[in-house]
Chains A and B, each alone.
Chain A
């Protein structure tokens, strides 16, 4: 299968994503510059990486959304192909309307960079099949704007259709207020669209996907996709 990693001015997790897809997973992987009119039809999964695209001006992700590549990514996703947005990538996918809701400033107004516990809420997706149901994993977050918000109806609809994929919890899987680092509604850390081919998450699985780093909890996302497509 073929991965592509989008690069915007200000992306800074692009090389980490590339490294995991290419060297850890051993898959064909390309960088694509946001301004090049690259034909996306050859790719199976596009990763929109973390960073501070366009300096987070206006709102995180808002300017990148209007960059030439985003229209192509919206139609790519419309064909049922896979898109993963991590951190700033998640913010971009919500701004682009591929995922519902918005990521607001953290409740504490502080940038938070640390490991957090997440519970895998739904393993019946192409992104999470390699996890166990209800598995608690430890994945780092590094963001200033990760406070997930959406209106009441949308929240109910994403909960009812099992679109919440990861939730901030304690080690026992309890979604407590203390386990919520940024104020996200219902402790939401990652969601997918109704069709389950677009995933957005604030934690960084690409930062914990190989033994040398002492934590492989993020690797199962990449494994799930590779397994699904082969």
Chain B
């Protein structure tokens, strides 16, 4: 089973890397881009013993404890 964790910066937090990407896109004539927010995606492969319900719970805990810093980041878990 595969789990994906999307980690993104919370709203209102300045993202200088996203801004740099946005400027670069603008310079490449993709002028329709008005904002870019950069984040992270983690792909976790879980063993076969884990049920999707357990996986959702456990992976949420992993994100809370390590993968995201909830002071500045939000996260979303997807089980495939």
A interface vs B, CB < 8 Å?
58-59, 62, 66, 94-95, 101-102, 104-109, 149-151, 183
| Chain B residue at minimum C-beta to C-beta distance from A107 | B16
Residues on A with beta carbons closer than 8 Å to the beta carbon of B67: 58
Q: Would A95 and B16 count as touching, CB distance under 8 A?
A: no
Q: Would A62 and B71 count as touching, CB distance under 8 A?
A: no
Q: Would A107 and B14 count as touching, CB distance under 8 A?
A: yes
Task: Indicate whether B72 reaches chain A with its CB closer than 8 angstroms.
Answer: yes
- 6 further A-B pairs in the complex, CB-CB below 8 A; given A58-B67, A102-B72, A105-B16: A101-B71, A105-B17, A108-B16, A109-B16, A109-B17, A109-B20
Residues on B with beta carbons closer than 8 Å to the beta carbon of A95: 69
Residues on B with beta carbons closer than 8 Å to the beta carbon of A101: 71
Write the nearest CB–CB distance from A84 to chain B, whole angstroms: 21
| Chain A residue at minimum C-beta to C-beta distance from B67 | A58
Q: Would A62 and B69 count as touching, CB distance under 8 A?
A: yes
Task: Indicate whether B13 reaches chain A with its CB closer than 8 angstroms.
Answer: yes
Interface residues of B in 4-44 (CB under 8 A from A): 13-14, 16-17, 20
Q: Would B69 and A102 count as touching, CB distance under 8 A?
A: yes
B interface vs A, CB < 8 Å?
13-14, 16-17, 20, 66-67, 69, 71-72
| Chain B residue at minimum C-beta to C-beta distance from A100 | B71
A-B interface, 5 closest residue pairs, ranked by CB to CB distance from nearest: A102-B71, A109-B16, A102-B72, A102-B69, A149-B72
| Chain B residue at minimum C-beta to C-beta distance from A104 | B72
Q: Would A151 and B17 count as touching, CB distance under 8 A?
A: no
Residues on A with beta carbons closer than 8 Å to the beta carbon of B14: 107, 183
- What are 29 contact pairs spanning A and B, CB under 8 A? A58-B66, A58-B67, A59-B69, A62-B66, A62-B69, A66-B66, A94-B71, A95-B69, A101-B71, A102-B69, A102-B71, A102-B72, A104-B13, A104-B72, A105-B16, A105-B17, A106-B16, A107-B14, A107-B16, A108-B16, A109-B16, A109-B17, A109-B20, A149-B13, A149-B71, A149-B72, A150-B71, A151-B71, A183-B14
Residues on A with beta carbons closer than 8 Å to the beta carbon of B16: 105-109
Residues on B with beta carbons closer than 8 Å to the beta carbon of A107: 14, 16
| Chain A residue at minimum C-beta to C-beta distance from B42 | A58
A104 to B20, CA, bound (A): 16
